[in-house]
Each structure stands twice: as C-alpha cells, then as structure tokens.
Amino acid sequence: MKTQPRSSKSVRATRRKRNDKTHVTTTPSLPTLSLPHNDETVVVVKVLDEPKARTGGILEWMVDEPPARRLGRGQLISLKNTSGETGPGLLTAVTDLHRHWITWTISGGPTQYRLSIPVPWTAMTGVEAVAHTKHYHLLPDLPPPHSLTINPNHPLEGLSSPYDTSLSREETENLESRLQSITQKCWEWR
C-alpha cells in the first residue's frame, strides 16, 4: 500500500553529534509526483535516501536496486525509499550520459526532478544508445558503476562500452548516420 506523497518542501530530521554538540541536519523527502495513470503499469523504483543537489537546486535521486523492468522514456515510475513512496511520475528525457549511469528527467511534480539509473537497468532509445556506445570512453567515469552491475568478466577500463544496447548492426549504422547529421547541423549553426 502506498503512503501519501510528501511535499518536496518537507524534510526528515536526523541528529548527529559533532564536538559534543548536537546538530540537526535535514534530508529532503521524496518529491511530490502525481500524474494520472489510468491503471497503466507504474514501476516502483527503489532509490537512495539522500538525493544529490545539481545545478539550479534540481534534486537527483540514484536508483539503489534493480527495477522490475528496464526504465526508459515514457515509463511511469514511483520512487520509494525509507521515507515512503511517491505517486506516479514519467521519465521524459535523458539529461546526462555517464559511462555507468544515465540521468533522466522526471515529470509529474511541481518542479523538475532527476533520476540516475545504472546503464544495464535503462532502455535507451536508438540515438541515446548509439551516443553512449560511440562516446563511452569520453564520458565521465563518475559515479562508479553500481555494485550490482559490475561484471568481473568485462573490464571497465577499455575504450569500448561493456554494455549491450541490443541494436542490430544495420540499426546502429543508421542511427550513427542520424547522430552525425544532428551533430553536423549543430556545428554549422555556430
């Protein structure tokens, strides 16, 4: 049973001792998400308790456990951690590519939120998958891979991506051409 969504402004307080003084620190609760879902499948995503604050104060949660299915654009999700569970939100767009994590925008709340998902647990679209694979060695290597996604049989230091995109050779070539066209147009406009 779901708990009531909490306001993004509410906080959970914890007490810590430092130099014989008690300091109260606050941890943001889960965001308020409340999209209508018409009995569509909403995937519950377990996230870490503490989000990261990004540029502009945008909060970003990191997935802590494998979801029931790969997550991608258009997927209805609900975030869950020790503070409770949100209502439905929608993964809308990739905002950041890292070697081992993909960050998505979550819509359905009063402000913008983000969710970082380990690459093996995502369902990237063709262009995103090709961009990740093609530029893998140039992408930031932090944060490190999630401990549950490390494959000891495939070294992560190589220049090629250790992640399978499940695209055929023909699809990959077509998408690389499309990506090149997009990139070329961007450079021509400058």
In this prediction, residues 32-44 reach a mean pLDDT of 88
CA distances (Å), origin 106, targets 56, 76, 85, 184: 16, 9, 15, 29
CA distances (Å), origin 62, targets 58, 103, 109, 142, 174: 13, 9, 17, 13, 32
In this prediction, residues 112-119 reach a mean pLDDT of 93
Q: Does residue 137 belong to any structural domain of this protein?
A: yes
Task: Label residue 152 exposed, middle or buried (CB < 10 Å: 0-12, 13-18, 19+).
Answer: exposed
* Residue 83 backbone dihedrals phi, psi, to 5 degrees: -90, -5
* Residue ranges of E strands in 88-184: 89-97, 101-107, 113-118
Are the C-beta atoms of 71 and 46 separated by less than 8 Å?
A: no
Confidence category of residue 179, pLDDT binned at 50, 70, 90: low
According to the per-residue pLDDT averaged within each range, which of 10-19, 101-110, 125-134, 170-179 is highest?
Answer: 101-110
Q: Does residue 180 belong to any structural domain of this protein?
A: yes
Q: Does residue 172 belong to any structural domain of this protein?
A: yes
DSSP category for residue 100? S
Q: Does residue 8 belong to any structural domain of this protein?
A: no
Helix (H) or strand (E) holding 132: helix 126-134
Q: Which of 5-9, 22-26, 55-59 has the lowest mean pLDDT?
A: 5-9
Q: Does residue 10 belong to any structural domain of this protein?
A: no
Q: Does residue 155 belong to any structural domain of this protein?
A: no
Helix (H) or strand (E) holding 175: helix 169-189
Q: Does residue 9 belong to any structural domain of this protein?
A: no
Is the pLDDT assigned to residue 28 strictly greater than 70?
no
Q: How many structural domains compose the chain?
A: 1
Is the pLDDT assigned to residue 30 strictly greater than 80?
yes
Are the C-beta atoms of 103 and 122 separated by less than 8 Å?
A: no
What is the pTM for the complete model shown?
A: 0.71
In this prediction, residues 56-77 reach a mean pLDDT of 92
Q: Does residue 87 belong to any structural domain of this protein?
A: yes
**Domain, as residue range, for 55:** 43-145+163-188
